[in-house]
Amino acid sequence: MTFLTEILTPERTVCHAPCVSKKRLFETVARIFSEDHPALHYDEVFALLIAREKLGSTGLGHGIAIPHCRVDACPQPAGALITLEQAIDFDAPDDQPVDLIFALLVPGEAHQQHLDILANVARLFSQGSFCQQLRAAGDDRALYDVALG
């Protein structure tokens, strides 16, 4: 979980977000990143997340999704951790709705770093007890604290 300290902040940790669809989730993610990073523009982040998702679902299964994209204006890798009030359809491989999201933005040229971070996040979120603790968090701060262990 050490790598999360480098890419996740309390400002980008949202517990029980009221998203009703994948589109609304991506709007929420774009807002979180654009409000936290002045160089990141809402419209660009939203469009890039949608474009990436059209290539194939970023849903992993077991209620987890890791939407991600490369953004030229992104100065360094950045993550956002979100739990949802209600699970949403995400075209996941197991057809289960998603309620636990880790969104990732990386600089445009960070190809290998992008893959390395994705692998680390996927490995972390494959741990059932970790995901259970995240889902049990009652507020943003508790969610952030659980994530950083």
Supply the residues annotated as catalytic.
68
CA-to-CA distance for 10 and 73, rounded, in angstroms?
21
Dihedral of CA 122/126/130/133: which sign? Answer: positive
C-alpha Rg value of the chain to the nearest Å: 14
Instruction: Return all residues near 112 (Cβ < 8 A) that are at least 6 apart.
Output: none
Inter-residue contact 92 to 57 (CB < 8 Å): yes
Neighbours of 105 (CB within 10 A): 29
Q: What is the dihedral of CA 128, 27, 1, 137, to 10 degrees?
A: -60
Inter-residue contact 89 to 125 (CB < 8 Å): no
